[in-house]
Amino acid sequence: MKYVDEFRDPEKARSLLKEINRLVTEIDTCKDRPIYIMEVCGGHTHSIFRYGIEGMLPKEIELIHGPGCPVCVLPMGRVDDCVALAEMPGTIFTTFGDAMRVPGSKKSLLQAKADGADVRMVYSPLDALQLAKENPDKEVVFFGLGFETTMPSTAFTVLQAKKDGINNFSLFCNHITIIPTVKAILDSPDMQIDGFLGPGHVSMVIGTRPYEFIASHYKRPLVVAGFEPLDVLHSVWMVLMQIVEGRAEIENQYARIVPDEGNDEALAAVAEVFELREFFEWRGLGSIDHSGVRMRKEFVAFDAERKFTVPDIKIADPKSCQCGEVLKGVIKPFDCKVFGKACTPETPLGALMVSSEGACAAYYQYGDPARMRELEKA
């Protein structure tokens, strides 16, 4: 595929890896422990496993798979709310595909569908709005989910619904914002992260400036990275260069997509429709201040949470689940007591086993990178 294969060139990968291998010999920390680099975004986790990137890196580099999979971090109680909305008579509940399987305390949306609820998969909130227009006698609820990447399209859809005077469309808003969560991880006492790969698609909307505090206050390098395998390797190399040169800066590897100032139009739509919540609950990480958004009161007619009654019951994560520690890089997925035993992609206990972008699901499905590295040598 033109414009894609160029970013998957194995020759270029080999020369980058050679450079990366050389750089780790220049980093003193590597003599005692590995360098920990967190990729914040689930899209990166997916690429890393899909292309086997972690197994190609020297053992001195460990990738920590961060909290940036919106499906994974959705708390169980919110899924229960989705199910309750979906099971209201006369409702068509619309959602992105991979949210269908996330377990609630009683059932997932997939199970609710099997039980008779009208749950439909859509690729865009605009599809849900179209459904509302086609089914004026039904209430169409869209399950708004994701970081700043998907927030603008939801905001535009709500604005469109208001403009068109559609009164049978509403949004169950579960959009979250990444910055407070990265900050929470950095503030965590057991945190041991030396640098970050910044989320490419989120940054396409918010730009690179919101990350400045990571460099200035926490003295950690962050490189906003693209999603093709060469993008990931290139960004790892850029983080290492900063460490070698003793710098902590925000750099933009994904400049072909990400403008430093972000996307004004998208940000304006988001600001018009959404406001920060005081706090939002994350599966595996607990409650984080200002980490979620809700709809402004001008859009109350489109807010499923206010238009209908949702149970809004907080369900604690299972005690045996160690997702929080995996997210912070304190342990690896297979160090968790329930990994692959009680917790599998079929019956996920923890957030990270839920979506293929979750670190645990990726380890389970695509294999332990260390094992792959051994195989490479054999």
Partner 1 sequence: MNKHVVMNKPPRKRGTLSVKKISLAHGGGGKAMRDLIDDVFVNAFDNSHLAPLEDQARFSLDDLAKHGDRLAFTTDSYVVDPLFFPGGDIGKLAICGTVNDLAVGGATPLYLTCSMIIEEGIEIDLLRRIAASMAAEAKIAGVQIVTGDTKVVNRGCCDKVFINTAGIGVIRENCNLATGAAEPGDIILVNGLLGDHGATILAARGDMILDAPIESDCAALNGLIDALLDDCPEIRFIRDATRGGLATVLNEIAEASGVSIEISEDKTPLRAEVKGFCEILGLDPLYLANEGKLVMVVPPDSADKALKIMQSHPLGKGAAAIGEVGDWDAGRVTMLTSFGGRRIVDMLVGEQLPRIC
Question: For partner 1, which residue of 174, 203, 208, 355 counts as binding (CB under 8 A)?
Answer: 355
Q: Give CA–CA dist 270/295, Å, rounded.
A: 10
* Pairing mode, strands 195-199 and 222-225: parallel
User: Tokens 């160090």 belong to which residue?
Assistant: 335
Does 366 bind partner 1 (CB under 8 A)? Our answer is: yes
Q: Hey, which residues between 45 and 84 contact partner 1 (CB under 8 A)?
A: 46, 49-56, 70-71
Does 8 bind partner 1 (CB under 8 A)? Our answer is: yes
- Per-residue burial over 283-314, b if 16 or more Cβ lie within 10 Å, else e, is bbbeebeebbbbbeeebeebbbbebbebeeee
Q: Hey, which residues between 105 and 134 contact partner 1 (CB under 8 A)?
A: 110, 121, 123
Indicate the burial class of 375 (C-beta count within 10 angstroms; 0-12, 13-18, 19 or more).
Answer: exposed
Question: For partner 1, which is the closer residue by CB, 55 or 292?
Answer: 55
Q: Give CA–CA dist 7/14, Å, rounded.
A: 13
Q: Hey, which residues between 268 and 307 contact partner 1 (CB under 8 A)?
A: none
Question: For partner 1, which residue of 39, 43, 75, 206 counts as binding (CB under 8 A)?
Answer: 43
Identify the H or E element spanning 264. Answer: helix 264-273
Taking alpha carbons only, the member of 334, 333, 313 closest to residue 324 is: 333
Query: Residue 290 corresponds to which tokens in the numbers above?
Result: 């200002």
Region binding partner 1 by CB under 8 A among candidate stretches 41-49, 236-244, 291-299, 300-308: 41-49
Q: What strand order describes the sheet that includes 139-146?
A: 118-121, 91-95, 139-146, 169-175
Per-residue DSSP letters for 125-187? HHHHHHHHHH-TTSEEEEEEEESTTTHHHHHHHHHHHHHHT--SEEEEEEEB-HHHHHHHHHH
Question: For partner 1, which is the closer residue by CB, 177 or 356?
Answer: 356
Least distance (Å) between residue 122 CB and partner 1: 9
Query: Residue 103 corresponds to which tokens in the numbers above?
Result: 């377990």
Residues sharing a CB contact under 8 Å with residue 229, sequence separation 6 or more, in sequence order: 7, 8, 13, 47, 51, 53
Does 25 bind partner 1 (CB under 8 A)? Our answer is: no
Least distance (Å) between residue 147 CB and partner 1: 8
Least distance (Å) between residue 373 CB and partner 1: 9
Question: For partner 1, which is the closer residue by CB, 72 or 223?
Answer: 72
Cβ atoms < 10 Å from Cβ of 378: 5
Question: For partner 1, which is the closer residue by CB, 49 or 299?
Answer: 49
Question: For partner 1, which residue of 27, 248, 257, 372 counts as binding (CB under 8 A)?
Answer: 372
Question: For partner 1, which residue of 211, 357, 358, 360 counts as binding (CB under 8 A)?
Answer: 357
Question: For partner 1, which residue of 101, 138, 277, 306 counts as binding (CB under 8 A)?
Answer: 101
Question: For partner 1, which residue of 35, 100, 266, 349 counts as binding (CB under 8 A)?
Answer: 100
Region binding partner 1 by CB under 8 A among candidate stretches 91-99, 181-189, 272-280, 311-319: 91-99
Does 137 bind partner 1 (CB under 8 A)? Our answer is: no
The residue type of 160 is: Q
- Per-residue burial over 219-231, b if 16 or more Cβ lie within 10 Å, else e, is ebbbbbbbbbbbb
Does 345 bind partner 1 (CB under 8 A)? Our answer is: yes
Q: Give CA–CA dist 140/37, Å, rounded.
A: 42
Question: For partner 1, which is the closer residue by CB, 243 or 293?
Answer: 293
Least distance (Å) between residue 160 CB and partner 1: 19
Q: Which residues bind partner 1 (CB under 8 A)?
A: 1, 4, 8, 10, 13-14, 43, 46, 49-56, 70-71, 96-101, 110, 121, 123, 145-146, 149-150, 201, 229-230, 345-346, 355-357, 364-367, 372, 375-376, 378
